[in-house]
Structure 1
């Protein structure tokens, strides 16, 4: 696993956009129109920028798996962050969905404990390389990284089959939200 540089950005965006194309939680955020996949890629671009600035972007050695990790306590208000947020609203969410998404984000934030954490925002494997252990290898390295930082890991998933996969590593569900789809909040103490 290597920490990503900006030259990995295109590859990371491609992996995540393809891996999350049918994810209920992601599709709740992305405006559903003829530009949906482009909007999905823009969402991943936003997350890449935020995690580069306030966390970590990690890529597997073979370049087929990646993860975006946020360290929420490091995130602070800045003009750059405000511009990124505005671009997200215009290019991904759509102004007409803004209040729905703000309500969702508020509910998610209320469900997170107020503490230092290692927030696994996205982890994905290129669809052609899935089911080969790359996600497992990457998650094991993320867990080791979180342990070295002495931070518990938090994440959400809206995909049922992912729950048992995360549970194999010691994650447990600590909260659920029904947003028209189920969002499961998971954590692992390191």
Structure 2
């Protein structure tokens, strides 16, 4: 595993797009990505945003074979650059008509964030042809070691992801069905 830098942006975005392009079930990504228009283009805009924000306010890691990645946020951050990235995301991915729904979702997520200081495991992906081969597990374990002693928080939407995180030492502390898909909130200490 290695820490990504800005030169890895296209590589990380490609991994994430490949990991999520065919995932069409109700989940957080599909809730945010505007339904009309070019899904691939909108998904790419979302993944670019998540990479850029993670580089500003956290860390991005690539697996040794560069077939998997994980994005962490270490703080919420603020500033002009974040505002510009959010405006770009609004127009390229979310759509003005979906902004209220996305803001409602973000408020719901924030409500269930741990009250103590935490590191947010924001997004993780492995290219589909390599899923199930241990790349994600190895990458997750290596990054958890880097954050040893810190509270790690993640939310997920699928029973498969919930089981993956539980198998890797996370515990569920809340679940809700307030949106059109389930949300499972997990933590690792």
Q: CA deviation at 1:76?
A: 2.7
Per-residue CA deviations over 1:80-126 (Å, capped at 9, x if unaligned) read 11101111111110000101110110010010023221211111111
Paired residues in the alignment total 185
Given that residues 137 and 168 in structure 2 are in contact (C-alpha distance below 8 angstroms), is that contact kept between their aligned partners in structure 1? no
Structure 2 unaligned regions, length at least 5: none
Distance 2:131 2:91 in 1: 32
Distance 1:16 1:38 in 2: 13
Distance 2:62 2:137 in 1: 13
Structure 1 residue 3 and structure 2 residue 6: aligned? no
Structure 1 unaligned regions, length at least 5: none
Which secondary structure does the structure 2 equivalent of 1:123 belong to? strand
Per-residue CA deviations over 1:24-74 (Å, capped at 9, x if unaligned) read 2100110012311211111110010111011001001111110000012xx
* 169-178 vs 96-105, which moves further: 169-178
Distance 1:136 1:77 in 2: 31
Which residue does 1:171 correspond to in 2?
170
CA RMSD in angstroms comes to 1.1
Distance 1:63 1:79 in 2: 31
Structure 1 residue 67 and structure 2 residue 66: aligned? no
Given that residues 71 and 116 in structure 1 are in contact (C-alpha distance below 8 angstroms), is that contact kept between their aligned partners in structure 2? no
Structure 1 residue 106 and structure 2 residue 97: aligned? no
Which residue does 1:15 correspond to in 2?
15
Which residue does 1:50 correspond to in 2?
53
